[in-house]
Each structure stands twice: as C-alpha cells, then as structure tokens.
C-alpha cells in the first residue's frame, strides 16, 4: 500500500474525509471544515486591512466566458461542463429505458450554458471589465470558490472538486508585481505561524500537449508562477499549497481591462488550496486538532 492510499485511508477512518465512491470527490467532516474556516480567518487577518472587495462566485461560470478565457486551448484535460436533459416526454421514456437496461444514459444529455469553474479568479475578469475603466489605483479582490479539475486520483491532495481562496490585483505592472512579492513573503510567515515547513520554487501550469511544453518553459523562464510547497504525502515531493501568479497583461488584453486613458491593466493573483493546507496541518500535527501544539491552536483558534 503506497503512502497516498494509506493517508487517504487514515483520513477516512478518522472521519475527516467521507468516501463517495469517486476518486478525488469527498465529503468533509465538521472538524475538517473548522480547520479550513480557521485558516481562512488567518488569511483575512493578513490581507483584510487592505480593503479588498469581497466577491463569492458559484462553482459554475458562464460557458461563453469560459470559452473566451482560452482555458480549453491550454488545459482541455482538466475542464468540466454541466450537461442536462433537454428532451421531450418520449426522450424521457427512452432515457429511463436506457437506465433500466444498464446503458449509457449520459449520451442524451446536452451542454448547458454553465462550465465548472477551474480557478476562483476566472469569473472575475469579465465581471470587472463590464464595469468599465479602472481607476488609477486599479482594484483588489477577495475571492473564494469551489473549483473543478478532472484529475481522478487516490492522492488526497489532488481532489477533483476543491476550494480556492484568492486575492487578485488588477493595476499597473509595478503595482501587481509588488503585490505578488508581498504575498510571497506573507505566505512563508503564515505557514510558519502554524508550524508548517515550506519552500518556494518557480513553477508552471500543466499545459496540454507538445505546444504546452513550450508554454510551460516560457512561464518558468519568465518567473511568472511560483508555488509554496509543503510536505503532505512526501517530504521529497512536497505539495503546492499556494501559488503566486503574474499574468502580465494577458487577461487585461483578453477582457479589455484598462484604465481611463486606455492603458491595458496587468493582473496577478495569490491562491490558497484550502483542502491541501488542511491536509498539511493534519499530517504535520495529527488528526485531532485538539491535540495540536498550543501555539498553532492559538494562531488558528485564538
């Protein structure tokens, strides 16, 4: 039995995660949720004074906006869409017959106008663009959403549906790169305050195909993405629990995000994988939060 499966079994046995029969899709106990809630409070304690606009989008987004984002060009292997029955009574009878006979009833489903949100910030850019030109100081936004990525796995830190908390900065190149560096420094302090060992390293997104290899290399060469890594399954292969991304003016140009003078905005975001951070805490301190070190409990529970 490998380390990933044994950790997952321990989490099931402790009741922290709840099995659904689908790899990477789990229920969470009240204890697990409380840890996430307390950690989100820590995030707000570090960033709340800066006056970010809080927005909470649902786990589904406008499919047309999803298509415009270009996500399918880079990550088709991770994408998910919402399909539904759109037929008449006869179609319904045929569907029920198909189910009774053990057939694949999903072939009769049709795509709706909803795509599953791949990252918490994706619905933000068209929303802000619709408001018109940004003020000279740009904008700062506090987001949290369930996200979907099609990566079935028995690795508990690679879930198909998970929550992402983000701060997104839209503004000048100088403003957004300063924002990213500030949060890289804060991220280390945050994790150290809850007793987690961390390192930050340059990274790349999982771009698809041969062309994706070039995109990944360019992303790394330009230092556009960094990840904060914490041991969960293995100290040798730590897990990315935070990411720090500078998009240059790519999203600004795509969505028409601009200042009143017409200059295209740059964007950057910092993201926390909330389930991954909870898992890192359970692995580091044990499966019973009541027995965690006093300083960690004080930081999270006060």
The DSSP secondary structure of 165-209, one letter per residue, reads EEEEEEE-HHHHHHHHHHHHHHHHHHHHHTT---EEEE------H
Single out the residue of 228, 159, 156, 152 nearest to residue 188, CA to CA. Answer: 228
Instruction: Write out the chain's pLDDT in tens, 302 residues.
Output: 455 558 999 999 999 999 999 999 999 999 999 999 999 999 999 999 999 999 999 999 999 999 999 999 999 999 999 999 999 999 999 999 999 999 999 998 999 999 999 999 999 999 999 999 999 999 999 999 999 999 999 999 999 999 999 999 999 999 999 999 999 999 999 999 999 999 999 998 888 888 888 888 888 989 889 999 999 988 889 999 999 999 999 999 999 999 999 999 999 999 999 999 999 999 999 999 999 999 999 999 99
Predicted local distance difference test score (pLDDT) of residue 218: 86
Model-wide pTM > 0.85: yes
Domain boundaries, the chain: 3-80+118-301, 82-116
Q: What is the CATH number of domain 3-80+118-301?
A: 3.30.930.10
Single out the residue of 169, 178, 158 nearest to residue 252, CA to CA. Answer: 169
């Amino acid at each position: 039995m490998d380390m990933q499966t044994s950790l997952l079994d321990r989490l099931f046995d402790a009741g922290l995660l709840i099995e659904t029969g689908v790899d990477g899709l789990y229920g969470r106990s009240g204890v697990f949720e409380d840890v996430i809630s307390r950690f989100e409070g820590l995030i707000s304690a570090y960033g709340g004074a800066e006056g970010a606009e809080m927005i909470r989008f649902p786990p589904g987004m406008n499919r047309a906006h999803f298509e415009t984002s270009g996500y399918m060009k880079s990550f088709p292997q991770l994408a998910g869409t919402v399909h539904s029955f759109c037929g008449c009574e006869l179609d319904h009878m045929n569907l029920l017959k198909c189910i009774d006979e053990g057939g694949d009833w999903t072939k009769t489903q049709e795509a709706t106008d909803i795509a599953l949100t791949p990252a918490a910030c994706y619905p933000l850019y068209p929303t802000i663009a619709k408001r018109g030109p940004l003020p000279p100081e740009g904008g700062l936004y506090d987001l949290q959403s369930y996200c979907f990525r099609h990566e079935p796995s028995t690795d508990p830190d690679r879930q198909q549906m998970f929550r992402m908390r983000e701060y997104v900065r839209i503004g000048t190149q100088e403003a957004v790169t300063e924002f990213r560096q500030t949060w890289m420094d804060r991220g280390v302090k945050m994790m150290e305050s809850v007793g987690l060992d961390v390192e930050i390293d340059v990274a790349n997104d999982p771009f698809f195909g041969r062309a994706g290899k070039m995109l990944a290399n360019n992303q790394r060469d330009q230092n556009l993405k960094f990840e904060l890594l914490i041991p969960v399954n293995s100290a040798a292969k730590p897990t990315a629990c935070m990411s720090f991304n500078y998009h240059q003016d790519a999203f600004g140009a795509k969505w028409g995000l601009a200042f009143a003078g017409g200059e295209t905005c740059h964007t950057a975001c910092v993201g926390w994988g909330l389930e991954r951070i909870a898992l890192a805490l359970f692995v580091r301190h044990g499966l019973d939060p009541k027995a965690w070190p006093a300083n960690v409990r004080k930081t999270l529970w006060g």
